[in-house]
Amino acid sequence: MKKLFLASTLAAAFIAPAFAGGLSVTGGIATSSIRAGGVSASVPQAALGVSDQAGPVAFGGNLADGHGEGVYARQFSVFAGMPVTVSKSAAVTPYAEIGYDKINAYTAKHVAVGVKAAVDADPVELFGGAKVGRSFGVSGVPGAENGTYLGANAGVGFAAGSGMVQVGYDYTRLPVSAGLNIDVSRFSVGYAMTF
């Protein structure tokens, strides 16, 4: 059942957008700094993002996956939101998200709401956002329990060729148990193209 759910979610995030027009795809590399209880590791990752818009609804998904210093880490999420244009070059998007995080044996799913903002000052684009939610299905470590899920990101893009080079930072706080969280800070560099 879990495999069917994951397969359906992947299909919705990565295949469905191809039929809506205006598909944006970002591929890149990232380094995640993972810290929990005084222990830390640096994990190189490959990152993939897709997004599209059908009518007033923007939707898409993100995946980061990698291994380093004895730590395996994967983050996956899909989102849907309603972009609001606030000026000729700026937009704000309230959105809802569901996702999954795995760090070695630790796993957690989450639902969250957030807001993204983007300013297009051609040839440069600035973007960022914040989200808050609740984890569920936390497992894999002693005393694991659900808790508050937090995230934020910021970045800049530079027009290059037919796409855009993007440099970004994002932070995620994953609840583990009462008084213990996993903090994930990820720096990424990627290239985005719209089809």
**Sign, Cα dihedral of 74, 133, 2, 50:** negative
Is the pLDDT score of 13 beyond 80? no
**Whole-number Å distance between alpha carbons of 139 and 92:** 34
pLDDT-derived band at 21, boundaries 50, 70, 90: low
Domains (ranges, CATH) in the chain?
2-194 (2.40.160.20)
Mean pLDDT of 35-45: 92
Phi, psi of 105 (to 5 degrees): -80, -20
pLDDT-derived band at 2, boundaries 50, 70, 90: low
pLDDT in tens, 180-190: 899 999 999 99
Distances (CA, A) of 167 to 10, 32, 56, 160, 178: 25, 14, 27, 13, 34
Residue by residue, what is the 3-state secondary structure of the chain? CHHHHHHHHHHHHHCHHHHCCCCEEEEEEEEEEEEECCEEEEEEEEEEEEEEEECCEEEEEEEEEEEECCEEEEEEEEEEECCEECCCCEEEEEEEEEEEEEECCEEEEEEEEEEEEEEEECCEEEEEEEEEEEEEEEECCCCCCCCEEEEEEEEEEEEECCEEEEEEEEEEEEEEECCEEEEEEEEEEEEEEEC
Mean pLDDT of 80-101: 95
> Can you tell me which residue has the tokens 């720096």?
187
Is the pLDDT score of 96 beyond 80? yes
pLDDT-derived band at 24, boundaries 50, 70, 90: very high
pLDDT in tens, 125-170: 999 999 999 999 988 888 888 999 999 999 999 999 989 999 999 9
Share of the chain above pLDDT 70, in %: 89
